Amino acid sequence: ELKVEQNPLFLSMQEGKNYTIYCNYSTTSDRLYWYRQDPGKSLESLFVLLSNGAVKQEGRLMASLDTKARLSTLHITAAVHDLSATYFCAAPNSGNTPLVFGKGTRLSVIA
Amino acid sequence: DTGVSQNPRHKITKRGQNVTFRCDPISEHNRLYWYRQTLGQGPEFLTYFQNEAQLEKSRLLSDRFSAERPKGSFSTLEIQRTEQGDSAMYLCASSGGIAFFGQGTRLTVV
């Protein structure tokens, strides 16, 4: 059964700094999702990574996927307060099967 | 708004009562998923449909939980004889390739 692990689970960053969140998954999966969740809100889709070596960037966030290592990273560049949220990675066993989520990384960006 | 829509957004109920939540997916999406999320945790898969067929229901938390998607469009999730441990956010997602989530229904059982 697919397991998804994220680290760190909690991250406190200073504004302007860079950091990386890691997502490991236990069995082969053909895609990897990153979502953002604000307190009390639902999940906002950030990235879908569909192939080995895929890299996607949106603003200060960049996600990458290494299917051989079963690892995805979410890199934050020059953090700003608005990025404070919980970030989840998720993967299906295959195709459109239900997503298995990590526990999330709670990011707090402080001045 | 053409996103995934869930109703109600909030529900407070007394222990022992039945509750039903509704999810309207993005119209062209044939797959619909229900998840539960408790505080500080990631979403936990419950059940899913392809069109009107329920493809997986073994993850429903107990026989008090049931879901339907009678015409392959909207879906309902029912919890019978609610317990305090059922308090959570219930999320619906639909997919035609990429999963999009609704705003969720927050259930509080008192």
Cβ–Cβ gap B98/A90 under 8 Å: no
Nearest CA in chain A to B46: A98
Q: CA A102 to CA B67: how far, in whole Å?
A: 25
Closest-CA distance of chain A to residue B50, Å: 10
A33, A35, A98: residue with CB nearest B33: A98
- pLDDT(A95) > 70: no
B10-37 pLDDT tens trace? 999 999 999 999 999 999 899 999 999 9
- Cis previous bond, B25, omega within 30: no
Mean pLDDT, all residues of chain A: 92
The answer to whether A42 contacts B104, with C-beta atoms less than 8 Å apart, is: yes
Do residues B32 and B88 touch, judged by C-beta distance below 8 A?
no
For residue A23, give how far its alpha carbon lies from the nearest alpha carbon of chain B (Å): 13
pLDDT (mean) for A47-75: 93
pLDDT single digits (tens) B80-102:
999 999 999 999 999 988 889 99
Residue A94 scores a pLDDT above 80? no
Question: At residue B1, does pLDDT exceed 60?
Answer: no
pLDDT value at residue B40: 86
pLDDT in tens, A26-52: 988 878 999 999 988 889 999 999 888
